[in-house]
Amino acid sequence: MGNRTGMGTDSTGEFAEWDDERYSTNIERFDEQHKRLFGLLNDLHTAMNEGHSEEEVGDILRELERYTEYHFGDEEEFMQNCGYAMDCSDCFYNHREMHEEFADKVQELREKHENGEYVTMEVLTVARDWLDAHIAAGDEDQNYADYFQTEVSDDYEYEPGQLYHDRTASEDPVPVDRQSEDAGVRLDSDIYDGASLSVPDGSVASWFEDIVSDHGDRTAALVRDDGEFVERSFEELAERAKAVAGGLLSTELRPGDRLAIRAQSQYEWSVLDLACHFAGLVPVALYPSASDDRAAQIIERTGATGLVAAGDVADDLAMAVETVLDFEDLPTAEARVLPGLQTDGDEVATVAFDVASPAEKAGCALTHRNLLAAAESLREALPTGPGATGTCSLPLAHIYQRVSTYYLWATGSAVAYLGAEEFVDQLAAVEPEVLVGVPKMYQQLYGTIQDRLGDMGWMKRKVGGRVASYGEGIVEGQGTPLKYRAANRLVYKPLRQEAGLSNLTYALSGTGRLDDHLLYFFRGLGVPVCELYGSVGTTGVGALNPAESFVQGSIGDPMPGVEIAVSENRELLIRGPTVLGGFLDDGQTGSQTLRDDWYHTGEVGEVGPDGTLSVGE
């Protein structure tokens, strides 16, 4: 093993001492997870060395086993998505064998303890030495961290499968086996109906006028200003959006033109979005993390004639459009006419792309009716407000975040604009009723709460170690033991309050399934996590798996206005007013994806014996 600086007890008295220089992978999420493994080993060493109760030792062992399984699963998924495993499959499987070796050692420790056998310090030292060999400089984790730093672009933001998709985009995909076009769509399941939905007529602009009429002086937005959140009313938001609409129409832009937006999510992004609707323009949302090449491809694909961007604009992007405007200095003017108020609901309202899809793939042309149907479906499924607060920290280029913002306004609720990197720290200042999240956000929250747990005293850390097992009982319908009430009062409730999670009615997770460990952790903590299934093609909504009737492994039930079925060839199909109006290129993509009013998701659909819907393999 060589000289293991940092693994002794000379300087801090810790059994396993963390050292950034030796162990850091420069990938924050894994450094935090590795530190947690070190911390659990230290807790276990302390408990055994000081003669703590067998119950306390068992709690730590079980938490160490759960966390090991979670960390290794997350790390391997990340390696595959980054392409590390694809370039060096032998190394990947060697890496997996090392994972399994450690997991087996942890399981052995736990089983020995449960069987009443003595767990020696020698066995604990083996586990510590394994961590050193696996993480330390020059070994496996450092190697793939080097790969990540040299082979993955600086603007990459973790999205499950994105890099793998980019790497294999040129390969021929393996499609779901569909019927020939002449045969029509044949179903192999009942049609699951999410109940009727009344969709507002007209455009987003006219809909928002009605919202302002109903909730004018209520708070529409909470905006960070000089370290504090300040309120903006619906009337103020509408006044600002109309002024910007007038400014847009004073340029070369004309109603019907497409305007690309490239900026971080914030209040002014929503102002500009509404301004486009009032002006009769079609916003094309670009992900701020996208490369200049990808942005240029999307501008070309959509035929955008204008670009609003924050910061410097590359020459290639500026030359691709006729009008370039500064996001930080939007033009304003009195608008004599607002064409968007007269726009028909079936006209294209925005063009959206899936962040994980190559730019050359057909963009989704979503109509005003699509957007309003999605907002109304969310309002029916997740009733709240007026006066509630929801969050916006995801890119507003993501249709899930944008329609969630519309949903909050439809209920007379405020949207709190939180920084993507600072949202965990800012949650406590707004204490939302609705958290609009994705698995990555819950991972960040999990890390922060674990850090706070680590700062608590021994007894509270012990109680914190049981939170996931309590959550598993809740999810599986087994309930919780009597001592959960005390754990909630003494540990979980204070943690929720400190994190700004005390007022939550809905904690939404969209764009992908939440890891089981995260699900159990947050449900045990008292956070009402529910999962939303949908895609850009269905305007971000489709099925909902609500907290109060959560079915693990299921996508839940169809949302209001949505019908779901499984085709004869096992493809999950969706129908309803949220299904996109069409594609920019309705050639092969359109004929394969939109048939007989059904949206073909490209995913295998399963109907369980109890009638539950899921996405299979």
Which pLDDT belongs to residue 371?
A: 98
Note whether 417 and 267 are within 8 A (CB): yes
From the centroid of its chain, how far is CA 451?
21
Instruction: Please name which of 241, 594, 510, 540 lies closest in space to residue 371, comparing C-alpha atoms.
Output: 540
The CA-CA-CA angle for residues 436, 492, 438, to 5°, reads: 20
Per residue in 308-321, pLDDT (tens digit) is: 999 899 988 999 99
Which pLDDT belongs to residue 338?
A: 95
Nearby residues of 228 by Cβ (< 8 Å), 6 or more positions away: none
Q: Which residues pair with 614 in a beta bridge?
A: 606
Amino acid symbol at 43 = D
- Span between the terminal Cα atoms of the chain, in Å: 42
Tokens read off for 526:
């008292």
Which pLDDT belongs to residue 89?
A: 44
Nearby residues of 232 by Cβ (< 8 Å), 6 or more positions away: 219, 220, 221, 222, 223, 267
Note whether 412 and 216 are within 8 A (CB): no
SS3 of 504-534: the string is: CCEEEEECCCCCHHHHHHHHHHCCCEEEEEC
Note whether 325 and 342 are within 8 A (CB): no
Distance CA 169, CA 358 (A): 7
Note whether 231 and 611 are within 8 A (CB): no
Helix (H, G, I), strand (E, B) or coil at 574: strand
Helix (H, G, I), strand (E, B) or coil at 243: helix
Which pLDDT belongs to residue 175?
A: 35
Give 157's Cβ-side CA count (13 Å radius). Answer: 13
Distance CA 63, CA 110 (A): 10
Which pLDDT belongs to residue 171?
A: 34
Distance CA 157, CA 27 (A): 12
Mean pLDDT (10-residue bins), the chain, 617 residues: 38 72 74 81 80 76 76 66 48 62 78 75 72 64 60 55 41 35 73 94 97 97 93 98 97 95 96 98 92 89 94 90 96 93 95 70 87 98 95 95 98 94 91 96 92 89 91 92 93 95 96 90 96 94 95 94 94 95 63 80 88 84
SS3 content of the chain, % helix, strand, coil (to 5): 45, 15, 35
Instruction: Please name which of 46, 36, 42, 43 lies closest in space to residue 71, comparing C-alpha atoms.
Output: 36
Instruction: Please name which of 351, 253, 255, 261 lies closest in space to residue 305, comparing C-alpha atoms.
Output: 253
Threshold 0.85, pTM exceeds: no
Note whether 260 and 284 are within 8 A (CB): yes
Tokens read off for 394:
């995801």
Nearby residues of 129 by Cβ (< 8 Å), 6 or more positions away: 1, 4, 7
Backbone dihedral region for residue 553 (phi beyond 0: left; psi -120 to 50: alpha; all else: beta): left
Burial 464-475, CB ≥16 within 10 A → b, else e: bbbbbbbbbbbb
Strands 323-326 and 529-533, sheet pairing: unpaired
Domain ranges of the chain: 20-150, 406-615
Would you call 442 exposed, middle or buried from its count of C-beta atoms within 10 A (0-12, 13-18, 19+)?
Answer: buried
Which pLDDT belongs to residue 165?
A: 41
Amino acid symbol at 173 = P
Distance CA 287, CA 354 (A): 10
What DSSP line would sit under 282-304, residue for residue? EEEEEPTTS-HHHHHHHHHHHT-
What DSSP line would sit under 165-234, residue for residue? HHHTTTSPP----PPPGGG---BSSPPEE-----PPPS-HHHHHHHHHHHHTTSEEEEEEETTEEEEEEH
Which pLDDT belongs to residue 169?
A: 37
Per residue in 525-551, pLDDT (tens digit) is: 999 999 999 999 999 999 999 999 999
Other Cβ atoms closer than 10 A to 139: 14
Helix (H, G, I), strand (E, B) or coil at 604: strand
SS3 of 79-97: the string is: HHHHCHHHHCHHHHHHHHH
Note whether 416 and 425 are within 8 A (CB): no
Rg (CA), the chain: 26
Note whether 413 and 302 are within 8 A (CB): no
Distance CA 187, CA 610 (A): 18
Backbone angles phi, psi at 151, to 5 degrees: -105, -15
406-615 CATH fold: Rossmann fold (3.40.50)
Note whether 5 and 19 are within 8 A (CB): yes
20-150 CATH fold: Four Helix Bundle (Hemerythrin (Met), subunit A) (1.20.120)
